[in-house]
Amino acid sequence: MPAQNLPARNAQQQRPRGRLDPTVGKARTMVGALLGLTTTGKHRPVQDPPLVLVGCSGGPDSLALAAVAAFFASRGEIRVGAVVVDHQMQPGSAEVAENTAETLRALGLDPVQVRTVELAHDGVGPEAAARAARFAALDVAARELGAQTVLLGHTLDDQAESVLLGLARGSGTKSLAGMRPRRGRYARPFLGLRRSETLAICEALDLDPWHDPANTDQAYLRVRVRHNVLPFLSAELGPGITESLARSATILGHDADFLDELAQAEFDRIAEICPGTQALPAEVRLPEDALRRLAPALKMRVLARAVVVLGGYQPSYERLVSAQELLERKGSAGPVQMAGKVSAYRISRSQSVPQDGPGYGKLVLRRGDTALHLH
C-alpha cells in the first residue's frame, strides 16, 4: 500500500491560528450536540472525564470525525480514544491499520487500539460479515476500556444509500429507517453531513485520508448504488434526492423505534429464556397462542428479536414469513434456516409429544442443528 495514500500528519500542527473553517465548525457542533458538549465558552475540564471511542478506518469520514472529536478532548471534558479494525480483506490491510493508528495518536487520541478480526460469513455476504465482525470488535473494546459511547463516521450519503438498498431488497420499516443518530453505545453525529464535507474537513485540517479501493469496486451493490444509481436519480429527480431519502429515513425511524419498543415489551412479556453460556441463552420459547394474538408488525419483530437474542442476525422478511408459516402449521415441516445458525422446523402432531412438555404449544428457538421447534 503506497505510503502517500495513508493518513500520517498531525492535525494539531497544521494551520496557524485564524478563522475556523466553517465545515469544521459545523462538524464540531454536530458532535457536541450528540455528546451534550459545547464548542464555545471557557474550557471546563472535569475530573476523570468519560472515555469516548471513535471507530476509525482511516477513510475521510471516520478520520474527519476523529479529528473533530480530538477538539473536545483538548478541552478536558472527555477523553477520546479510537479502535481501528483490520478486516484482513485486502493485501496491506495491516499496514493501513497501523498507519491509521499512528495518525490518531498524533491527533492526541488515547488509547488507540488495532483489532484484527476473522470474518465468519455464516451464509451472508462479505459486507455483512465484515460489519458483524467490526461491531463485535468495537463492542469488546468498549467493554474492556470502559467507554459508554462509540462514535461512527456514517454520513448523510451513507444514510441515503441504506434507504435505497432497503427498497431494492424489499425491506420493511426497520431497514428503510436506516441508521439512527444514537442507538445503544453507538452514536453517528455526521448523519447530517455530506461525504464531500468530510473530505473538506480533511483538507482544512491537512489530513491525508486513506481511500479504500473497495469503495470503487462495482462488484459491491452499495458501490453501484453510490456511483450509478444515486447520480442517475439526482439527474432525473433533482439534486435534493439524497437529502430527501435521508429525511425519509428520519421520519420512518420514529415509527420503527415506536414499533420496536412495543415489540420488545411483548417479547419481555411472553418469552421464556433458558440459560445457556455466559454470552448466549440455550433457547428461547415463545407461546404459540400469544404470538398468534399479536399484530403482524409486532409478531415479525418478536420472532426477529428471538433470533437476535440467540446470537443470530436480523432475519430477512422471507425467512420471517417462513417461520410464521410454521406457526400457522402451513407447508413443509422445515427446517427453515434463519440467520446466523438459527434454524426452524415443525414437529408434526402425528408424532408423540408429551402435552405437558416444556415446549408444547410454543415456538422453541435454538442456535445450532436443533433449532426452532413447533410442538
**Known binding residues for ATP:** 57-62
Three cell numbers at 227?
Answer: 456511483
Closest CA to 85 of 38, 34, 123, 140: 140
Handedness of CA 58, 62, 65, 71 (dihedral sign): negative
Q: Under a CB-based contact definition with an 8 Å cutoff, are residues 251 and 163 in contact?
A: no
**Whole-number Å distance between alpha carbons of 105 and 94:** 17
CB 177 within 8 A of CB 256: yes
C-beta separation of 145 from 115 below 8 A: no
CA 224 vs CA 61, 69, 216, 360: distances in Å = 19, 31, 8, 48
Rounded to whole angstroms, what are the CA distances from 97 to 115, 127, 135, 158, 348? 9, 18, 16, 22, 53
Contact 340, 129 (CB under 8 A): no
- The letter for the amino acid at 63 is L
Query: What are the contacts of 268-274 at 24+ separation with CB within 8 A?
Result: 270/302, 271/302, 271/305, 271/306, 271/309, 272/362, 273/309
Per DSSP, 142 falls in state H
* Known binding-site residue numbers: 57-62
Contact residues for 235 (Cβ-Cβ < 8 A; gap 6+): none
CA 136: distance to chain centroid?
A: 10
Sheet holding 336-337, edge to edge: 272-274, 283-287, 362-366, 372-374, 343-346, 336-337
Residues 6+ apart with CB under 8 A from 60: 195, 198, 199, 201, 202, 209, 211
> For the chain, how far is it from start to end, CA to CA, in angstroms?
57
